[in-house]
Amino acid sequence: MNYNSLIKETKKALESYSDITAELEELYRKAKKSNQASYETARKSLGEQYVSEKNAAAANARLSENDMYQFLASRGLSSSGESVQAKIDSDISLNKTLSELAKANAGSLYTLEREKLQKDIELENLLAEKKIDLKKEQIELATKLAEKGVSGNKSSTSDGNKTDRFVPETSAKELAKSILSTFSTDGRVTTALQKSYIKQYLNTLYESENIDSDYIKELIINLKAAGYTDITDTASEAFITSKDGQSFYDRAYEQLYSIFIRGNRSAATASRMAREQAKIQMLDYIYQRCTTIEAFEAACRKINITASELKEYYNRIDNIIKKDKDAIKLGSKTGYASTEQ
């Protein structure tokens, strides 16, 4: 087996995923631009409608006022207290109408902006999920390429019996190099996040690709030489979901703040409201990407969610599930929803 040729083939195949990721991001940018254009059109239409209704209300008020003056004049009361009261009543009526129009317009704008934000978040979630799918495909591809040349030999137990697990002809050292080229910094594993991605990769090799456990152990020895240390599945999941959750929070906060500040709120109030809403959305994001409550709570600790905040969140989840048990599920965005609730 030509290992150098295999490694080159693996890297070439994996590099093609960079092009696919770029295409995904371009589609996302186009979709977001289209969403922004639709929002601007709708916002302009609302503004024009509001101005038109204000002008119509003012014109109707003037007509009513003129009619009242003509009526009072016909009775010789054009300069009386009655005419003054009529003018006051007319002004009050107009102000009330304009206030109602302003309130209705503000409500329509708020609804429009919430719909835009929801669409933007849906697009961002979809992009993130597609990238996760691509990463899984990369792992599967690397694994299949690593198994190239498998002779069909099965591993054996100590008593000589064959097992259903395969031992790739590609050496564990060569596969370790391939893994490090994808998940490390210059061939060194230096962060907990890198260890987490490698841990998930190793789980895929053993659980999905049916690779022999002794081969996995040898692979880990080679990875440890580059700085890898084994971590639990819970820790791995917590590191990845908390990191992704924080990125999601930053995007959500920025968009929510822009909505609230346009609603004539102070910067402090808009910031507080945006933080509260973004935190809830972030917790939903993480909850749906953790397979166990233990992993979810570990991720929450990493982003400094307090016990009282976690309790409040669980109460919210319970209320949502009571109304619709399928509305939100633990692990529902990982490709397999957990039955643990």
Mean pLDDT within 227-249: 92
Which of the pair, 332 or 154, is modelled with greater confidence? 332
What string of DSSP letters covers 98-152? HHHHHHHHHHHHHHHHHHHHHHHHHHHHHHHHHHHHHHHHHHHHHHHHHTTT--S
43 and 107 both lie in a single domain: yes
Percent of the chain clearing pLDDT 90 (strictly above): 26
- The least confident of 155-159, 216-220, 248-252, 299-303 is 155-159
- Please check the confidence at residue 69 and state whether its pLDDT lies above 60: no
Single residue among 146, 179, 207 that ends a domain in this structure: 146
Res 167: pLDDT: 79
15 and 116 both lie in a single domain: yes
CA angle 56, 57, 63 (to 5 degrees): 90
159 band by pLDDT with thresholds 50, 70 and 90: very low
| Residue 260 covered by a domain | yes
Single residue among 146, 180, 195 that ends a domain in this structure: 146
Q: What is the domain range of residue 171?
A: 154-224
DSSP-derived letter for residue 164 is E
- Please check the confidence at residue 306 and state whether its pLDDT lies above 60: yes
CA angle 310, 267, 120 (to 5 degrees): 65
Res 2: pLDDT: 41
Total domains present in the chain: 3
202 band by pLDDT with thresholds 50, 70 and 90: confident
115 and 49 both lie in a single domain: yes
Task: Output the pTM of the full model.
Answer: 0.57
Mean pLDDT within 52-74: 61
Q: Return left, alpha or beta for 304; rule: phi > 0 is left, psi -120 to 50 is alpha, else beta.
A: left
Single residue among 111, 146, 181 that ends a domain in this structure: 146
Residues contacting residue 217 through CB under 8 Å, at least 6 positions apart: none
Where are the extended beta strands (E) located within the chain? Answer: 154-156, 162-166
